[in-house]
């Protein structure tokens, strides 16, 4: 037993977004002693989303409001939510997991559900880091209001890019969507919305090669034609980048099976290749990543943890009796 360890938990839930809160709710319903560790306010990416229109039962709801509802629902069933950042998850020799946080806490349990989501993928071009928080952003809801009357660019072609471009038109005088292909990957209903928005203009077959500015703020983008390579200069007052997310799986010590993009591979019970380590939501390899899939994963994971722990107890009894 490790000194100064926080014990007594059946399961540790890492991440407090929709998947983590749903897992916490089901763990409570299953009479499991659980702790949910979230680095910020409960809700995860919901807190960075203005309007949600694809979560069944809510035709339209603010991301913040849904986060509050999910958090309150989980707490109704006894969810314990701790604000801290998990730095390491490691399965040790006794079969339990050590979960270490940035505040120096050590939590121990026989099972872990990882629901830590992902972080925005960066373009990796000159000027991106220099102008972070000076016109380069990865969250329209967080920063859109700072760009009233500006001409903005959104880089990307998926659902997130299209949704955020539409959101930014409430502040910007004009929004360009810069996409390296000749068609969007976003859902058809979202495409129809942006194509009908007079403030949005598509820039097809272009990639960003540099973000330029005055030293204090973004001034323009240097683009290159994806086919000919010809340079294009696009004057904007800010750029919002939505080209994907990297799963937050780096906290796991030891080898765990994952796909080419780093997303965890699980079985039908949401268990990873490390027995006792389950994954749900955006960290898991799957076809799509939506709130609905996140909470579905979490439901399965939490119920599977109950069965996993019951099987462990039976093995322990059998070992004692033999």
Terminal-residue alpha carbon distance, the chain: 24
Which ranges constitute the DSSP H helices of the chain? Answer: 18-29, 63-76, 140-143, 159-168, 188-195, 291-321
Q: Classify domain 136-241 by CATH number.
A: 3.50.50.60
148 burial via Cβ count (<10 Å: 0-12, 13-18, 19+): exposed
- What pLDDT sits at residue 6? 80
pTM: 0.83
Short-list 23, 11, 37, CA closest to 74: 23
Structural Rg of the chain based on CA atoms: 22
Domain boundaries of the chain, sorted by first residue: 5-120+245-321, 136-241
Kindly report, residue by residue over 163-205, the tens digit of the pLDDT. 999 999 999 999 999 999 999 999 999 999 999 999 999 999 9
Residues in the chain, pLDDT under 50:
1
- What pLDDT sits at residue 54? 87
Residues 39 and 88 sit within 8 Å (Cβ to Cβ): no
Kindly report, residue by residue over 234-284, the tens digit of the pLDDT. 999 999 999 988 999 999 999 999 999 899 999 999 999 999 999 999 999
Domains 5-120+245-321 and 136-241 alike in fold: yes
| Residues forming a β-bridge with 101 | 86
95 burial via Cβ count (<10 Å: 0-12, 13-18, 19+): exposed
- What pLDDT sits at residue 108? 97
Instruction: Give domain 5-120+245-321's CATH number out of 3.50.50.60, 3.90.950.10, 2.30.110.10, 3.10.310.10.
Output: 3.50.50.60
| Residues forming a β-bridge with 6 | 107
**Cα–Cα distance between 322 and 320 in angstroms, integer?**
6
Short-list 244, 237, 223, CA closest to 168: 237
**Cα–Cα distance between 132 and 153 in angstroms, integer?**
15
**Cα–Cα distance between 151 and 153 in angstroms, integer?**
7
Instruction: Please state, in angstroms and as integers, the Cα–Cα distance from residue 261 to each residue in 156, 258, 283, 289, following that order.
Output: 18, 8, 10, 14
- What pLDDT sits at residue 163? 93
Active site residues: 139, 142-143
């Amino acid at each position: 037993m490790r000194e100064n360890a926080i014990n007594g938990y059946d399961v540790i839930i890492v991440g407090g977004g929709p998947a983590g809160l749903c897992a916490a709710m089901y763990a409570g319903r299953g009479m499991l002693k659980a702790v949910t560790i979230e680095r910020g306010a409960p809700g995860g990416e919901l807190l960075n989303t203005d309007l949600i229109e694809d979560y069944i039962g809510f035709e339209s709801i603010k991301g913040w409001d849904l986060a509050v509802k999910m958090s309150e629902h989980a707490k109704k069933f006894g969810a314990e939510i701790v604000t801290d950042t998990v730095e390491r998850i490691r399965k040790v020799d006794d079969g339990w997991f050590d979960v270490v946080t940035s505040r120096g806490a050590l939590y121990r349990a026989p099972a872990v559900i990882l629901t830590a989501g992902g972080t925005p993928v960066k373009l990796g071009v000159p000027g991106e880091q220099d102008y972070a928080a000076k016109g380069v952003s990865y969250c329209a809801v967080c920063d859109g209001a700072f760009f009233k009357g500006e001409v903005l660019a959104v880089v990307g072609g998926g659902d997130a890019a299209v949704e955020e471009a539409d959101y930014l038109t409430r502040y910007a005088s004009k929004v360009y969507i810069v996409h390296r292909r000749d068609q969007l990957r976003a859902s058809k209903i979202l495409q129809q919305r942006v194509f009908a928005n007079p403030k949005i203009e598509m820039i097809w077959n272009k990639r960003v090669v540099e973000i330029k500015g005055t030293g204090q703020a973004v001034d323009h983008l240097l683009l290159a034609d994806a086919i000919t390579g010809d340079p294009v200069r696009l004057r904007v007052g800010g750029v919002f980048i939505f080209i994907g997310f990297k799963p937050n799986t780096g906290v796991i010590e030891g080898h765990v099976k994952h796909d080419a993009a780093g997303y965890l591979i699980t079985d039908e019970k949401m268990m990873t290749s490390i027995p006792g380590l389950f994954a749900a939501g955006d960290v898991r390899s799957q076809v799509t990543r939506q709130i609905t899939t996140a909470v579905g994963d979490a439901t399965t994971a939490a119920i599977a943890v109950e069965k996993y722990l019951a099987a462990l107890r039976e093995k322990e009894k059998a070992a004692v009796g033999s």
